[in-house]
């Protein structure tokens, strides 16, 4: 497993937020209430699964796979017309993703905004319904579950939402927010036992008992995120999907929350899928990393290997944008500036979806054949026809002519 250097920080954020409660939605334990705008609402329940041994080394638990995702697709229809509504096309938010997450590891999922990271996490928990593919959790095909069976299975999978304010119900106290999930799954065993459990939860995330009687707007951003973590832990899950868990927080608070997540994982044996765009955060906390581009996984490797030797051109461009604190190294290292706009997920390019911006694009295969995510050795997977040639220097970079992206194309 990747060496994690963070230490546990017992921190209680002392600064308080204002009384702004705009955009807040409730935690729905029985049913995840997702609106059309994809707002951070709904308190995801849980479900677990094992599948086949996944690729990659450096993960806790060896080959004990908890989650297997096979050819997962999430397509959103584009509707046109007022009186007679018709489907004019689809937004291919997630289009054929295969990955495995081992029990006890942290899997980091990175990519630029709009690549489908959040939709993949929500689709895995079925907060949005997948269009196709399978989600196997602890030998259970979650994608086929319905009704009460699905509700009960959600106890084992939880989500930490990106915005800690909008994902908490402003009309509920912290005690009510935490008890709701426990009650939905029959974990509130008596008033005194439940109270003791709530105090234990708050203590585990560095909040005092007095926080139980307060409301979300009375806390700082870091404290609200801790409440979101406590809510996820309340039903004793096996898997937690953390969607940008620190992106809305100050840098000092980010470190505290990351250290808290690591300490909880070591103590409770949790498995994480961490969705982020901050590559420094992902490297710090992850055992394995997957890189997404326009709805597809383009590269996957252990954290150390990904940063030491990226093989996909898109990954190379992402890592070259990470600043280095040494001015000499920063001036001398290779920097790859991508040309052109991100293509529309409603009209993705043919062949390799990155070929319209790729500095290593070739005249054959790239614009006609979509590359498979293949293992190139040691569990390192890459979706590029010429990955080995690029790594060996047999193919050189060239200038890319920018292409105009037409939104209505």
Please, what are the domains in the chain?
A: 65-307 (3.40.50.300), 313-409 (no CATH)
Q: Please give the structure tokens belonging to residue 179.
A: 């008890």
Please name which of 375, 17, 45 lies closest in space to residue 182, comparing C-alpha atoms: 45
**CA–CA separation, 62 and 169 (whole Å):** 39
CA–CA distances in Å: residue 224 to residues 90, 207, 208, 231, 321: 36, 10, 13, 11, 31
Q: Helix or strand or coil: residue 317?
A: helix
Residue 371: other Cβ atoms inside 10 A: 21
Look at residue 404 in the predicted model and tell me its pLDDT: 59
HEC string of 46-104 equals: CCCCCCCCCCCCCCCCCCCEEEEEEEEEEEEEEEECCCCCEEEEEEEEEEEEEEEEECC
Return the residue matching tokens 């939605």. Answer: 25
Look at residue 51 in the predicted model and tell me its pLDDT: 37
Query: Residue 33: CA atoms inside 13 Å, Cβ hemisphere, count?
Result: 12
Please name which of 242, 237, 231 lies closest in space to residue 175, comparing C-alpha atoms: 231
Look at residue 168 in the predicted model and tell me its pLDDT: 93
pLDDT in tens, the chain (409 residues): 444 444 333 333 433 333 333 333 333 333 333 333 333 433 333 333 333 333 333 333 346 999 999 999 999 999 998 888 899 999 999 999 999 999 999 999 999 888 999 999 999 999 999 999 999 999 999 999 999 999 999 899 999 998 888 889 999 999 999 999 999 998 888 888 999 999 999 998 989 999 999 999 999 988 999 999 999 999 999 999 999 988 877 888 888 888 899 999 999 999 999 999 888 888 889 999 999 999 999 999 999 999 999 999 999 999 888 877 777 877 777 788 888 788 899 999 999 999 999 999 999 999 999 999 999 988 999 999 999 999 999 998 888 776 655 555 4
**CA–CA separation, 106 and 37 (whole Å):** 28
Contact between residue 110 and residue 117 where contact means Cβ atoms under 8 Å apart: yes
Q: Please give the structure tokens belonging to residue 234.
A: 């309340």
């Amino acid at each position: 497993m990747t060496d994690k250097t963070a230490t546990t920080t017992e921190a209680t954020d002392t600064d308080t937020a204002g009384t702004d409660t705009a955009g807040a939605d409730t935690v729905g334990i029985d049913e995840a209430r997702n609106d059309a705008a994809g707002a951070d609402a709904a308190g995801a329940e849980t479900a677990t699964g094992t599948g086949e041994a996944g690729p990659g080394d450096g993960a806790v638990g060896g080959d004990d796979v908890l989650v297997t995702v096979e050819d997962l697709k999430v397509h959103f229809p584009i509707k046109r017309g007022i009186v007679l509504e018709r489907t004019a096309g689809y937004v291919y938010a997630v289009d054929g993703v295969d990955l495995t997450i081992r029990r006890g590891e942290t899997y980091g999922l990175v990519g630029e905004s709009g690549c489908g990271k959040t939709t993949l996490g929500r689709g895995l928990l079925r907060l949005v319904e997948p269009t196709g593919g399978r989600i196997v959790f602890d030998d259970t095909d979650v994608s086929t579950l319905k009704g009460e069976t699905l509700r009960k299975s959600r106890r084992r999978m939880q989500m930490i939402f990106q915005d800690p304010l909008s994902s908490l119900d402003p009309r509920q106290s912290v005690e009510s927010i935490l008890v709701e999930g426990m009650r939905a799954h029959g974990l509130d065993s008596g008033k005194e036992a439940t109270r003791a459990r709530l105090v234990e939860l708050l203590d585990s995330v560095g909040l005092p008992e007095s926080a139980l009687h307060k409301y979300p707007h009375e806390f700082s951003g870091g404290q609200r995120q801790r409440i979101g973590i406590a809510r996820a832990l309340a039903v004793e899950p096996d898997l937690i999907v953390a969607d940008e868990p620190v992106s809305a927080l100050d840098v000092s608070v980010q470190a505290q929350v990351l250290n808290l997540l690591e300490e909880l994982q070591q103590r409770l044996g949790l498995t994480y899928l961490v969705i982020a765009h901050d590559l420094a955060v992902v490297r710090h906390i992850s055992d394995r990393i997957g890189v997404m581009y326009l709805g597809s996984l383009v590269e996957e490797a252990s954290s150390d290997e990904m940063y030491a030797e990226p093989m996909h051109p898109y990954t190379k461009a992402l890592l070259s944008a990470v600043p280095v604190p040494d001015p000499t190294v920063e001036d001398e290292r290779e920097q790859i500036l991508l040309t052109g706009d991100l293509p529309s997920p409603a009209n993705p390019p043919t062949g390799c979806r990155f070929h319209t911006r790729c500095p290593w694009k070739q005249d054959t295969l790239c614009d006609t054949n979509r590359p498979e995510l293949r293992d190139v050795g040691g569990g390192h997977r890459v979706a590029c026809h010429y990955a080995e040639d690029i790594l060996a220097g047999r193919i050189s970079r060239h200038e890319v002519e920018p292409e105009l992206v037409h939104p209505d194309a």
